[in-house]
Structure formats: structure tokens, C-alpha cells
Amino acid sequence: MIKLKLLILIIMISTLYVQEKHSLKVTGGNFVTVDGVQFHYRKGGRGPYLLLLHGFTLSSDQWTEYFDKFAEQYTVIALDFPGHGKSERTGKEFNFDHWTQLTIKALEKLQIKQVKAIGHSYGAITLMSIARQQPDLIKAMVLISGAHRLDSTMQAILLEDSFEKADVDLQNFYRKIHRDNMEQIQGIFSDIRKFAENSSPLIREQLGEIDLPILLIFGDRDSFYSMETIAEMYNALPNAQLWVIPEQGHAPVWQFMGADELTHQVFSKKVRQFLKHSNHVKIK
């Protein structure tokens, strides 16, 4: 009889563990409409909010390899930018400030009053803009491969960028994450070219206004940003740390884009430690 009770208890505990793990799962299929634009987002986990913003041409799917770890400590919200993934296009010409405002309004609509945040490339640039406009919204943030200005060489490349210039594997990847919708994909590249017309989404002096704790992460082979630009950004931000990853490019921490297992593990641990211990205190 005792053995039977023990077996039942073990089954109950195992069932509860499986149910808890399932409840933490970050899943998509969630939508919020702002100014007539329907945003798709993934949500899961528990605890305070952690906002994840992807880079241009990608989607919230970019964060998949980190969802489980982040969801152990945070309620993850991973948005698809307009025209990316399952989000609708705005129906208007790309405008950086407009997209930033839509992102802020999406968080307001979801009744999210404060977040910690991680952004890659365009997502990182957006977070800086949000932090300037709504200083109480973001408590701390990690900016991966996103700076206040583009180097002239990369600006020239982006001004001529197109789907057709991508290799076959990358084209197939774009088709997969954007539902094989070529009109949507062509729209994304049109938005990139429009974005690249302004080489400085933020000027250096504006960075000094962002005093929340920031962890900057760049690969030392990032083709978008020179080490000079990265150093300029680090020196201008009053409360930032900098981690430069050797032998990595513009997507330095994603294994599906070329990062190694060690970098993957170190990133996951380092970011969670930074976010846990960042309480709006001065780092520098």
C-alpha cells in the first residue's frame, strides 16, 4: 500500500512538472492591433516582462533557441515588427519614428508598464529610441549589433539591398519565416532601403540621455559597424558595458547563423546575470 501511494505521488509530481514546463512555453499566435496595424507576438514564461525585438528581415522566430532559458525567469514578449513574420504591414512608407511609436503603443495596449529588453540590430536601435522617449518603460537592456549610426560602406550596401541579392539558402530562409509571401518580403527590403537613407537614426549626443543599465554586444567582424563606431557608442552611453565577441559578425550569438556552442552558452548565462543584477545603478 505504501509503495502504491509513493508511486501515485511520483506520478502526480511528474505530471505537475510537465504541466509547469508546458505553461512556461513561449508560443506564437497572439495578436494586438495598434492604429489599424495588427502585430503578432510570442508570449510565455513567468515573472517580470522581457521584451525581445528582432532585426530587419527576421522575425520573433529569431529568439527560439533562447526562449526556454529566458522563460524560466521572465514573461517573454517577442514582437514581429510591421511586415515581418505574421505582423501586418503599416500600409505607409517606412518611417523609423512611426515604427517606434507603434511598438510603444503595442506595449501599452498589452498593459505592459515596464520591461527589461533585448534587441538585435534594428531591434536594438528601436530600444534606444524607446528609452529616450519613454525613460520609465525600459529598466535595463541588452543591445546586440545595433548602433546609433551606420558606417558609410554598409549604408551604401543597404541602399541597394534586395531579396534577389541573397543566396539561395537565405532566400529560402526568408520565405519560411515570412510565410512564403513574396509581396511581404519585397516590402521588407523596400523598408530597409528607406531606413538606410538616414545613416544616423540617433545622433551621438542623444545617447547621453539614455542612462539605464545597458549591455552592448558586438562581433569583432561585424560588417555593419566598425570598432570606431562601437567605441563611440560605448563612450557616449553613461551606463553601459561592452562585450566584443571574437571572430563573430553581425549575428554573433545565434547558432543557426554561425555562432558556436560556447558563445551560445556564455551569452545565455551572461545576459541573464546582467538583467538580474541591473537595478538602474551606475556601471561606469
How far is Cα 201 from Cα 203, in angstroms, rounded to an integer? 7
**SS3 of residue 204 by DSSP:** helix
pLDDT one-digit tens code per residue, 27-84: 999 999 999 999 999 999 999 999 999 999 999 999 999 999 999 999 999 999 999 9
Please check whether residue 243 lies inside any domain of the structure. Answer: no
Q: In this predicted structure, what is the pLDDT of residue 85? A: 98
pLDDT one-digit tens code per residue, 112-132: 999 999 999 999 999 999 999
Q: In this predicted structure, what is the pLDDT of residue 2? A: 59
- pLDDT band for position 17 (cuts 50, 70, 90): very low
N- to C-terminal Cα distance for the chain? 63
Alpha helix stretches (DSSP H) within 137-260:
152-159, 168-177, 182-196, 204-207, 227-236
CATH number at 175 reads 3.40.50.1820
DSSP code of 211? -
Burial class of 57 by CB neighbour count within 10 A (0 to 12, 13 to 18, 19+): buried
pTM for the complete prediction?
0.91
Q: Which set of grid coordinates corresponds to residue 39?
A: 502585430
The region, left, alpha or beta by phi > 0 then psi within -120 to 50, assigned to residue 121 is left
Q: Which set of grid coordinates corresponds to residue 260?
A: 558556436
| Placement of cell 520565405 in the chain | 175
Please check whether residue 237 lies inside any domain of the structure. Answer: no
Please check whether residue 245 lies inside any domain of the structure. Answer: no
Please check whether residue 64 lies inside any domain of the structure. Answer: yes
The residue range of the domain holding 166 is 2-214
* Number of other residues whose CB lies within 10 A of the CB of residue 3: 7
Alpha helix stretches (DSSP H) within 80-160:
96-109, 122-133, 152-159
Please check whether residue 224 lies inside any domain of the structure. Answer: no
**Number of domain units in the chain:** 1
Please check whether residue 220 lies inside any domain of the structure. Answer: no
Q: Give me the sign of the Cα torsion angle 198, 199, 204, 209.
A: positive
Please check whether residue 255 lies inside any domain of the structure. Answer: no
**SS3 of residue 51 by DSSP:** strand
DSSP string, 62-77: GGHHHHHHHHTTSEEE
How far is Cα 22 from Cα 68, in angstroms, rounded to an integer? 10
Q: Which set of grid coordinates corresponds to residue 141?
A: 537592456
How far is Cα 93 from Cα 73, in angstroms, rounded to an integer? 38
**Lowest mean per-residue pLDDT among 16-30, 127-141, 166-180, 241-255:** 16-30
* Number of other residues whose CB lies within 10 A of the CB of residue 146: 25
Please check whether residue 9 lies inside any domain of the structure. Answer: yes
Q: In this predicted structure, what is the pLDDT of residue 74? A: 97
